Amino acid sequence: MLRDWRGSVRRFIPVNSQITSACHSFLRMGPLVLLFFSLLHLCATQGTPVFVQTGTDLLLDVKEPVVLKEADLFTWNVNDRANVVRLAQCGKPTISKNYTSRAEFSAQTHSLLLKNVQKEDSGVYRARVAADNNSDVAEYSVTVLDPVSGVKLTVKLCSSDSTKVTVICSTEDSLISSTFTCAHKPALTRGERAEIITPGASLDVYLENGSVICNHSNQVSSTRHPKD
């Protein structure tokens, strides 16, 4: 027996028993272990998340300088299927015909510029050096989003017989409401913050410095409508 660092006693088990016990434990935990490693692999292969607004330009850089050897081939590809650009050590870069009018490639920095991106440009972009051992030198998970729509803020102002005010914040496809307390004048003093999250955007209404704020935002844009 051997005393471990916690002061407890650790019992040695015969090798065969250890293997049998480990196998039984693995079989019991197999589905969980497989799920864990599947999720770990998925997270590792998604790349750096990048959000870009529809109609703007996107610049993708490599994470380290690239030096090509004689037989090496450098590519930027999307979703591991379509090559955007190819570059051999002694050749000129070749841009795919689907990108010739809206992609630029720097042979010096190996960066890729995509112009006027659209939603269909969303995907995983990888910069890869194909050699004896393939090496990815950049990886981005790109999501192209439309800017959020404007907001409309509707407030039922305070009256002499009411100390509450109802605020409705709405967009083209969502609405949210909250109730705030009024002071002696039509000024708001306190209330609950409300928020709703829709696919690709969030909508919230809250009180800030005596004004009601209605905010609609996503990763690339936001609109606000303040009302005193």
User: Rounded to whole angstroms, how far apart are CA atoms 9 and 20?
Assistant: 22
In a domain, 6, yes or no: no
In a domain, 74, yes or no: yes
Same domain, 100 and 22: no
Same domain, 106 and 19: no
Q: What range does the domain containing 166 cover?
A: 152-227
Number of domains in the chain: 3
In a domain, 4, yes or no: no
In a domain, 66, yes or no: yes
Residue 47's pLDDT is 86
Q: pTM for the full model?
A: 0.70
Q: Of residues 156 and 33, which shows the higher confidence score?
A: 156
User: Rounded to whole angstroms, how far apart are CA atoms 179 and 206?
Assistant: 10
Whether the CB-CB separation of 74 and 110 falls below 8 Å is answered with yes
Tens of pLDDT, residues 181-214: 766 554 555 566 788 887 789 999 888 877 888 9
Tens of pLDDT, residues 80-110: 988 999 999 888 999 999 999 999 999 999 9
Give, in order, the Cα–Cα distances in Å from 163 to each of 76, 160, 190, 209, 218.
61, 8, 11, 18, 34
Same domain, 131 and 67: yes
What is the torsion angle, in degrees rounded to the nearest 10, for the CA atoms of residue 206, residue 207, residue 212 and residue 215? -30
